[in-house]
């Protein structure tokens, strides 16, 4: 199956700093990428959907100025957590799809800890 990578796999940062997480599709062109957040022992919650070359669509309750998403190429999307605070600590997962109704492939996730 197709492979999606995320970098870094885990990151620790100080409160107030910004953190960038990369999501890459390694062997296919991802026209759409999705960003999820997962709290401990909870389910995945969709944060936003990004299509290559256009602005991301955020789910209700997700602050777009807080979580900046850039999908500048068909293989890379980035999520930047700006001015991170301890409550932003979570597991962030991306998924990528080559088109409408195509299978979504998930990345391995990024664990963020904000001190």
Give the residues lining the site for other proteins (CB under 8 A).
32, 34, 38, 42-46, 49, 91, 93, 95, 97, 100-101, 103-104, 106, 108-109
Inter-residue contact 34 to 107 (CB < 8 Å) = no
Q: Is the N-terminal amide bond of 8 cis, ω within 30° of 0?
A: yes
Question: 49 or 70: whose CB is closer to other proteins?
Answer: 49
Q: Which of 18, 93, 105, 87 is nearest to 48 (CA)?
A: 93
Question: 16 or 112: whose CB is closer to other proteins?
Answer: 112
Question: 14 or 101: whose CB is closer to other proteins?
Answer: 101
């Amino acid at each position: 199956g197709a492979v999606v990578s995320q970098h870094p796999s885990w990151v620790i940062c100080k409160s107030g700093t910004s953190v960038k997480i990369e999501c890459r599709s390694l062997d296919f062109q991802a026209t759409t990428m999705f960003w999820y957040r997962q709290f401990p022992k909870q389910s995945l919650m969709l944060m936003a959907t990004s299509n290559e070359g256009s602005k991301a669509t955020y789910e209700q309750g997700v602050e777009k100025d807080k979580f900046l998403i850039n999908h500048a190429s068909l293989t890379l999307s980035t999520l930047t957590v700006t001015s991170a605070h301890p409550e932003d600590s979570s597991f962030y997962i991306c998924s990528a799809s080559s088109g409408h109704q195509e299978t979504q492939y998930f990345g391995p996730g990024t664990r963020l800890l904000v001190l």
